[in-house]
């Protein structure tokens, strides 16, 4: 779901980013003044000097757009965004999105509509990295700063940050974790991917195989996709188990894949015997973790995506802080740490105990 | 679906009826031969293929597709098509799961509810086709979208989890060592095969598919009968959706996307004709198992999903080509 390389890239351009930023903010302010509606008299002065709009503490209206509305993951992003808005004060979050992550054109239109509406900033997750690149550029051209969450664009403009999970790095860690759980000796492992061709899937698969390459005692004997369908995940896992009676470990790369794999292992009567490393933390996955069916879960931090996106955008608009990408981090959930306060903050995020920083 | 009627004179002469039966048997024979060949090849290619566990797995994996393909075959025989099966199966599955989780229903009561949900969707399809006179392709395309939307509305696009162990009975239970899902498939297949081949209901179904106008003129209450077929198909889709949910112990809002393609493929490989009037349940079962064997074999031999899809496509082409070739030869002889 996320982009992984931009974080490193942006930080190396810190100095230049500031200059570009100043220019962008200047454009933004000029754009606002040039329009029919003059919104804030205080904008004029920094515009003339080309400096960031420092200290403009008036009300801000931010558009925060998920890939699609209605999913638990995005609801958590929303909670994080609204939390940051509440803490900053006087910030309105306009939460809006298309209904299916495949509705790329719908999201392009949506971004354009918010540009037309002249919101102060746009924080969003691109449904398609290439198709949304012009939409991001369009917002910048209109003087509206943009921050990406979860998934960036390609190309990603230098002054547009990305707050996302580093899928590749986390998947490398998942491979290490699998190796650790299995211990010494030769072991056969399998990979249940979800949507071949999608960027997130590719990053997790590549990260996992990259990690696997560092462990000579692990052999990948099966790799099949679930198409994010639990039934299909179960079917392919059953068949992989049939073909490889010595299978010792499975890495399943998203929620439906994990659930299907765990079902298949359970049905084969080999629960607890086969190590399953999963991704995401749906209630049944966490239950599987507690019962020992699943050894560990890679859990992203969608709350932090929304939180950082809005927090940094507000600081950028009010204080001129440059926008810089950040890895929103993952937590490796195990039976041992699932009940700790830190894990619970990730699983049941709330603004009282935000899983950030 | 179309106004071109290729089989307008089929029911008129008794000789044609015999030829029709023969032609059905031939296309089934082709598919069955392919199934046997694949079975033998896989038995040699993978030491794990020919084991009781794997064969039961294949049976349970194929159950849902086989049951829903049976429903699809009935509809296809009437010259119709049902594109809504995947969405309706998902709707039935999540509603069934919700009744267990939130209302404390037993698995049996939930299954009854799921079957009823399928039946209602089938009734909607049937009325759209017979009363509103919308072509089946379009009517069920609408239902496909609407039912999927309802699934998302009901679930908030989040899976229905937290179900008791008993929920898995349909999908994971066993009777005398045989997966319950396989037993259900057998019961459904035998029942529908009997209905189609031994009853007046079945005769009407084939007659309407061959020539709707002739069927109407000969006094068959086509509207009511066609509606009944969509309802019956819907009931089976509801059952299939419930088995699918039970297999994964949860109601999945994304279940069954593109399922209609699998079940139509199974029916067509088994000899059903989209021009109506032709198709038998035994053929559809063979088609469903042929597809299932390809998938099972591909995973056993660790062949990429991309090749699996190409292989299924080739089988569809080959099945329909051989079918038509044999029919043409048969007809030119007659």
Inside any domain, residue B5: no
Name which of B48, B152, B248 is nearest A260 (Cβ-Cβ).
Answer: B248
The reply to whether A347 falls in a domain is no
Q: Answer yes or no: is pLDDT of B333 > 60.
A: yes
Q: How far is B244 from chain A (nearest CA, A)?
A: 7
Check CB contact under 8 Å for A283 and B300: no
Q: Is pLDDT at B248 greater than 90 in this prediction?
A: no
Task: Name, in order, each residue with C-beta under 8 angstroms of A52's C-beta and a sequence gap of 6 or more.
Answer: A21, A22, A25, A46, A316, A319, A320
CA B204 vs CA A6, B78, B128, B207, B278: distances in Å: 65, 9, 20, 5, 12
The pLDDT, as a whole number, for residue A324 is: 94
Do B61 and A222 make contact, defined as CB atoms within 8 angstroms? no
Domain that holds residue B291: 10-333
Q: What is the pLDDT of residues B20-66, one digit of tens each?
A: 667 667 777 888 988 999 999 999 998 889 998 889 889 988 999 99
What is the three-state SS of A220-234? EEEEEECCCCHHHHH
* ipTM, two decimals: 0.71
Residues A10 and A138 in one domain: yes
CB–CB of B252 and A229 under 8 A? yes
> Among B37, B90, B16, which residue's Cα sits nearest to residue B289?
B37
Contacts with A99 from chain B: Cβ below 8 Å: 152
The residue whose two tokens read 């209602």 is B120
B166 contact A CB<8A: no
Residue A197: C-alpha distances to residues A1, A169, A207, A254, A294 (Å): 12, 19, 15, 15, 27
Cβ contact B233:B71 at 8 Å: yes
| Average pLDDT score over residue span B297-318 | 85
Establish if A308 belongs to a structural domain. yes
pLDDT of residue A334: 94
Residue B82 and residue B229 in contact, taking contact as beta carbons nearer than 8 Å = no
Q: Residue B238: is its pLDDT beyond 70?
A: yes
Structure tokens at A200: 């997130």
Model confidence, pTM: 0.74
pLDDT tens by residue, B176-185: 889 999 999 9
Is position A352 within any domain? no
Q: Looking at residue B5, what is its pLDDT?
A: 43
Quick: pLDDT tens for B189-224. Answer: 999 999 999 999 999 999 999 999 999 999 999 999
Please enumerate in sequence order all residues whose Cβ is within 8 A of that of B115, keeping only pairs 6 or more positions apart, or say none: B92, B235, B238, B239, B242
At residue B150, the pLDDT reads 96
Query: CB-hemisphere CA count at 13 Å for B55?
Result: 9
State whether B152 and A99 contact (CB < 8 Å).
yes
| B4 lies in some domain | no
A186 and A135 belong to one structural domain: no
Structure tokens at B276: 């109506």
Residue A216 to residue A224: CA distance in whole angstroms = 21
Report pLDDT for A97. 85
- Which of B154, B248, B250 best tests the A interface by mutation, with the highest count of A CBs <10 A? B248
pLDDT at B19 over 70: no
Give how many domains chain B has, as a whole number.
Answer: 1
DSSP-derived letter for residue B105 is: -
Point out the residue among A228, A239, A287 whose CB comes nearest to the CB of B254. Answer: A228
Is there a domain that residue B2 lies in? Answer: no
The domain spanning residue A81 has which CATH number? Answer: 3.40.50.2300
Pairing state between β A60-65 and A91-95: parallel
Tell me which residue in B54, B172, B250 faces A284 most closely, judged by beta carbons: B250
Q: How confident is the model at residue B9 (pLDDT cuts 50, 70, 90)?
A: very low
One domain for residues A99 and A47: yes
CB proximity B289 to A under 8 Å: no
In angstroms, the separation between the Cα of residue B138 and the nearest Cα of chain A is 22
Q: How far is CA B174 from CA A41, A237, A261, B4, B183, in A?
A: 75, 20, 20, 47, 9
What band does B16 get if pLDDT is binned at 50, 70 and 90? low
Indicate the average pLDDT of chain B: 89
HEC profile of A23-46:
HHHHHHHHHHHHCCCCCCHHHHHH
Residue B161 has its nearest CB partner, among A245, A268, A283, at: A283
Cβ–Cβ below 8 Å for A72 and B301: no
User: Quick one: A195 and A290 in the same domain?
Assistant: yes
Q: Chain A: nearest CA to B226, how far in angstroms?
A: 32
Greater pLDDT, B319 or B186: B186
Q: Are residues A128 and A196 in the same domain?
A: no
B95 inside domain:
yes
Instruction: Give start and end residues of each alpha helix (H) in A65-218.
Output: 72-88, 104-116, 133-141, 167-182, 199-213
CATH code of B142's domain: 1.10.3470
* List of chain A residues whose C-beta atoms are within 8 Å of the C-beta of residue B158: 71-72
**Residue B145 confidence class, pLDDT cut points 50, 70, 90:** very high
Interface A-B: count of C-beta contacts within 8 A: 82
Min distance B146 CA to chain A CA atoms (Å): 14
Q: CA A180 to CA A36: how far, in whole Å?
A: 63
Q: Based on the domain organization, do A174 and A286 belong to the same domain?
A: yes
The verdict on B62 touching A (C-beta cutoff 8 Å) is no
Contacts (Cβ under 8 Å, ≥6 apart) of B18 = none
**What single DSSP character describes residue A274?**
B
Q: What pLDDT does residue A60 have?
A: 95
Residue A235 to residue B61, Cβ atoms within 8 A: yes
Same domain, A158 and A29: yes
Q: Is B272 on the interface with A (CB under 8 A)?
A: no
Model confidence pLDDT, tens digit, residues B262-280: 999 999 999 898 888 989 9
Identify whether B3 is part of a domain: no
pLDDT at A179: 96
Domain contains B1: no
Which chain A positions have a beta carbon within 8 Å of B49's beta carbon? 242
Same domain, A37 and A148: yes
B250/A259 CB distance under 8 A: yes
HSE value, Cβ hemisphere, 13 Å, CA-based, for B165: 2
Percentages (nearest 5) of helix, strand, coil residues in chain B: 75, 0, 20
The predicted model gives B292-301 an average pLDDT of 88
Torsion of CA A151, A153, A159, A165, to 10 degrees: 20
Domain range enclosing A245: 167-300
Q: Which residues pair with B179 in a beta bridge?
A: B174
Interface membership of A221 toward B (CB under 8 Å): yes
Q: For residue B124, is it within any domain? A: yes
Cβ B273 vs Cβ B149: under 8 Å: no
Regions of chain A short of the pLDDT cut 50:
1-54
Based on the domain organization, do A148 and A206 belong to the same domain? no
In a domain, A190, yes or no: yes
**Is residue A262, in this structure, part of any structural domain at all?**
yes
* Distance (Å) from the alpha carbon of A53 to chain B's nearest alpha carbon: 40
Q: Does residue A118 share a domain with residue A152?
A: yes
A263 touches chain B (CB under 8 A): yes
Chain A contacts of B151, Cβ < 8 Å? none
Query: How far apart, in whole angstroms, are the C-alpha atoms of residue A22 and residue A9?
Result: 19
Q: How many domains does chain A have?
A: 2
**B13 contact A CB<8A:** no
Taking the Cβ of residue A188 and every Cβ of chain B, the question of whether any pair is shorter than 8 Å is answered with no
Q: Is residue A85 one of the residues assigned to a domain?
A: yes
Which residue would you say has higher pLDDT here, A343 or B129?
B129
Establish if A196 touches chain B: CB-CB under 8 angstroms: yes
Same domain, A138 and A184: no
User: Residue A228 and residue B172: Cβ atoms within 8 Å?
Assistant: no
On the 0-12 / 13-18 / 19+ scale of CB atoms within 10 A, B257 is middle
Q: What pLDDT is recorded for position A224?
A: 94
Query: Which DSSP category does A271 fall into?
Result: B
Say yes or no: B255 contacts chain A, CB-CB below 8 A. yes
Percent with pLDDT over 70 in chain B: 92
Q: How far apart are CA B92 and CA B170, in angstroms?
A: 14
State the distance between the two ends of chain B, measured CA to CA, in whole angstroms: 28
Q: Say if residue A125 is in the same domain as residue A177.
A: no
Could you tell me the sign of the dihedral formed by the alpha carbons of B181, B186, B187, B188, in that order?
Answer: positive
The dihedral formed by the CA atoms of B79, B293, B320 and B237, expressed in degrees to the nearest 10:
10
pLDDT band at B283 (very low <50, low <70, confident <90, very high): very high
Six-digit token pair at A287?
A: 């239950």
Tell me whether residue A335 is in a domain. no
Measured between beta carbons, which residues in chain B are less than 8 angstroms from residue A205?
A: none
* pLDDT the model gives residue A6: 35
The alpha-helical segments, DSSP class H, found in B161-271 are: 169-172, 180-198, 200-210, 212-217, 222-247, 259-269
Find, in chain B, the residue whose alpha carbon is nearest to that of A269.
B53
Taking an 8 Å cut-off on Cβ atoms, the answer to whether A240 and B306 are in contact is no
Q: Which chain A residues contact residue B181 at CB under 8 A? A: none
């Amino acid at each position: 779901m996320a982009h992984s390389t931009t974080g490193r890239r942006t930080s190396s351009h810190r100095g230049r980013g500031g200059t570009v930023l100043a220019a962008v903010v200047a454009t933004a302010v000029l754009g606002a003044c040039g329009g029919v509606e003059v919104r804030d008299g205080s904008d004029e002065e920094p515009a003339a000097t080309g400096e960031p709009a420092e200290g403009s503490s008036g009300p801000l209206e931010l558009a925060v757009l998920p890939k699609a509305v209605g999913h638990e993951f995005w609801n958590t992003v929303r909670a994080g965004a609204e939390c940051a808005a509440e803490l900053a004060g006087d910030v309105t979050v306009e939460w809006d999105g298309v209904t299916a992550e495949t509705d790329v054109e719908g999201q392009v239109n949506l971004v354009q509509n918010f540009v037309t509406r002249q919101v102060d900033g746009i924080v969003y997750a691109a449904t398609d990295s290439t198709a949304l690149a012009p939409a991001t550029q369009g917002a910048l051209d209109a003087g509206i700063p943009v921050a990406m969450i979860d998934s960036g664009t390609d190309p990603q403009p230098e002054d547009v940050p990305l707050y996302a999970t580093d899928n590749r790095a986390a998947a490398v860690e998942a491979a290490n974790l699998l190796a650790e759980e299995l211990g010494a000796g030769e072991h056969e492992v399998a990979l249940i991917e979800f949507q071949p061709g999608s960027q997130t899937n590719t990053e997790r698969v590549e990260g996992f195989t990259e990690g696997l390459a560092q462990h000579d005692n692990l052999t990948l004997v099966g790799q099949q996709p679930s198409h994010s369908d639990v039934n299909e995940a179960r079917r392919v896992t059953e068949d992989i188990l049939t073909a490889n009676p010595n299978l010792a470990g499975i890495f399943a790369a998203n929620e439906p894949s994990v659930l299907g794999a765990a079902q298949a292992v359970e049905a084969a009567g080999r629960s607890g015997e086969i190590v399953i490393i999963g991704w995401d933390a749906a209630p049944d996955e966490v239950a599987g973790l507690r019962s020992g069916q699943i050894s560990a879960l890679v859990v992203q931090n969608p709350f932090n995506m929304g939180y950082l996106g809005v927090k940094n955008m507000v600081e950028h608009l009010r204080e001129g802080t440059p926008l810089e990408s950040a890895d929103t981090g993952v937590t490796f959930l195990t039976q041992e740490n699932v009940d700790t306060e830190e894990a619970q903050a990730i699983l049941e995020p709330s603004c009282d105990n935000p899983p950030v920083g | 679906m179309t106004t071109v009627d290729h089989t307008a004179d089929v029911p008129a002469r008794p000789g044609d009826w015999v030829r029709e039966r023969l032609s059905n048997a031939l296309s089934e024979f082709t598919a069955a031969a392919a199934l046997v060949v694949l079975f033998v090849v896989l038995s040699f290619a993978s030491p794990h293929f020919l084991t009781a566990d794997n064969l039961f797995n294949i049976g349970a994996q194929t159950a849902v597709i086989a049951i829903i393909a049976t429903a699809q075959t009935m509809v296809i025989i009437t010259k119709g098509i049902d594109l809504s099966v995947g969405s309706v199966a998902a709707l039935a599955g999540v509603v069934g799961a919700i009744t267990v989780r939130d209302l404390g229903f037993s698995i049996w009561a939930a299954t009854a509810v799921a079957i009823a949900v399928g039946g209602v969707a089938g009734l909607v399809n049937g009325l759209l086709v017979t009363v509103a006179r919308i072509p089946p392709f379009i009517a069920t395309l609408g239902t496909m979208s609407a039912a999927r939307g309802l699934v998302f509305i009901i679930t908030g696009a989040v899976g229905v989890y937290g179900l008791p162990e008993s929920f898995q009975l349909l999908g994971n239970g066993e009777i005398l060592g045989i997966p319950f899902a396989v037993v259900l498939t057998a019961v459904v297949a035998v029942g529908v095969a009997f209905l189609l081949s031994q009853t007046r209901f079945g005769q009407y179904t084939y007659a309407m598919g061959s020539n709707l106008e002739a069927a109407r003129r000969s006094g068959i209450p086509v509207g009511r009968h066609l509606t009944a077929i969509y309802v019956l198909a819907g009931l089976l889709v509801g059952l299939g959706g419930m088995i699918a949910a039970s297999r994964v112990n949860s109601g999945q809002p994304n279940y069954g996307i593109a399922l209609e393609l699998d079940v139509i493929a199974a029916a067509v490989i088994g000899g059903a004709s989209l021009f109506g009037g032709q198709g038998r349940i035994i053929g559809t079962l063979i088609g469903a198992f042929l597809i299932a064997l390809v998938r099972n074999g591909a995973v056993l031999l660790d062949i990429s999903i991309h090749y699996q899809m190409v292989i299924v496509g080739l089988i569809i082409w080959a099945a329909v080509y051989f079918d038509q070739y044999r029919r043409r030869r048969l007809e030119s002889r007659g």
